[in-house]
Structure 1
């Protein structure tokens, strides 16, 4: 009888866990796994959900999210950043950039050769300038630039002498990037970031996609400064931004 009870309890727990896992991957964009892609970047589900006053940015991968990070090269020039990215239809003006400046994307990145979150001490050691190797969040504005490779995107450069609109947490780099300090949370195969909904400009009709990619700093550290060098996977397959908030 005890064995039967234990079997029943185990079955109930497994059913509950399966239901929980299934519910965590409802809505959004579902993408088949691809064994040819590093499992840490092989997107299988992308979603932005509204929970109370927050938008929850969610990506699930076939392997362990956040497990792979770039190797250190020792210099800013030629260094690499790995990224989980949600390109959106939000106007960049919603987060403090100029109207129609490009494609506004939310990104979670890691890069051991430089720190671009000067307001935050992610590793808690009292030094604000040595945390780039830890996963952290950004808003970036993207545009195509063939200087990065035909049809490839870059983070939009700020030309010398130009005075574009910039968010108050702009980290001082000559590109359209913001370091808002939202904390990414990794849990096995998933990555989630909670962003105050008001910070999205209240856009309930936003569209989105999911991308994993490597970005590279130009070896001359000049325009273009930061190119999307390698795209590992696009959730929609073609960057069509088909996802809808809360759906």
Structure 2
């Protein structure tokens, strides 16, 4: 298991002015499952669309978690793009944590908006992450305390987490996973910094906070979650 060397959120954001790379490229790591061995991660702007893309050494999306038959203790696999976006830019209150787009697969539960079904298919989420030493990978999806009424996106799936379930076109083709987001929905992405991560998340067996941990980090594109990528128009 890889444990991410965690920087504070403010330290991550402070790096924005120092970034020059257009994409984040990684060396092959034979110790990582090929479907999660990141070769290149990119977020770019094409016409009126922001395109989130990750290429891996093997077939993207070919490895999925085993079904457990229950929500508690179940597993989630994810292709993740941590960014320098503020949480207010994706529908949450400002300055809540690390904003990431995640394409996930989890066969034991649904977390689509408005009661929709999305188990057994890869699908996108916005998540807001924070450090938590209780999690094997050092990060969690931020819990919403009981009784709290924070600002939430219209496609929030109704679970007590800072998570959103937008319906963005998501595709797997060969070694690549791609997500396309209309630029008017995420105008702040222009000039943002980012990284790429593949990871396994786990629902707490007792449904206690943290409810959803990053339990196992398969690979970090930069190696240290330093967000070295820069969002630029496609060449």
Q: Does the pair score TM above 0.5?
A: yes
Q: Does 1:46 align with 2:46?
A: no
**RMSD of Structure 2 on Structure 1 (CA):** 1.5
Residues in 1 aligned to 2:199 and 2:52: alpha-carbon distance in whole angstroms: 17
Larger radius of gyration: 1
Q: 1:68 corresponds to which residue? A: 63
* 1:144-183 residue CA offsets vs partner (Å, 9 max, x unmatched): 112224x710000000111111000000000000000112
Aligned residues: 213
CA distance in 2, matches of 1:203, 1:67: 29
**Conservation of the 8 A alpha-carbon contact between 1:140 and 1:176:** yes
Number of the residue aligned with 1:5: none
Pick one of 195, 200, 204 that aligns with 1:209: 195
- Separation of aligned partners in 1, 2:105 and 2:169: 13
Partner of 2:132: 145
* 1:222 is aligned to 2:182: no
Q: Relative to total residues, which structure has the larger helix share, 1 or 2?
A: 1
1:77 aligns with 2:72: yes
Offset from partner CA, 1:190-237 (integer Å, 9 cap, x none): 111101112223341200000000000000012110000000000000
- Counterpart of 2:11 in structure 1 is none
Under a length normalisation based on structure 2, what TM-score does the superposition of the two structures give? 0.87
Render the CA deviation track for 1:72-100: whole Å, top value 9, x for unaligned.
Answer: 00110100000000000000100110100
Larger RCO, structures 1/2 (Cα 8 Å, 6+ apart)? 2
Look up the match of 1:233.
Answer: 219
The equivalent of 1:11 in structure 2 is: none
User: How has the CA–CA distance of structure 1 residues 197 and 241 changed in structure 2, closer, same or farther, with 3 Å as cutoff?
Assistant: same
Q: How does 1:12-31 map to 2 (within 5 A)?
A: 27-31=22-26
- Provide Cα deviations, 1:31-60, integer angstroms capped at 9, x if missing partner: 011111100000000000100111000000
Equivalent position of 2:158 in the other structure: 172
- Is the Cα–Cα contact under 8 Å of residues 81 and 196 in structure 2 kept in the other structure? yes
Structure 2: gaps spanning 5 or more residues: 1-20
Listed as ranges, the gaps of 5+ residues in structure 1 are 1-25, 121-127
Structure 1's consecutive aligned runs of 4 or more residues displaced over 4 angstroms after TM superposition are: none
Query: Is 1:90–1:200's contact at 8 Å kept on the other side of the alignment?
Result: no
TM-score in terms of structure 1 length:
0.83
The secondary structure found in structure 2 opposite 1:68 is coil
- Deviation of residue 27 (structure 1)? 4.2
Tell me, yes or no, if structure 1 residue 157 matches structure 2 residue 143.
yes
Q: Which residue of 38, 51, 54 corresponds with 1:56?
A: 51
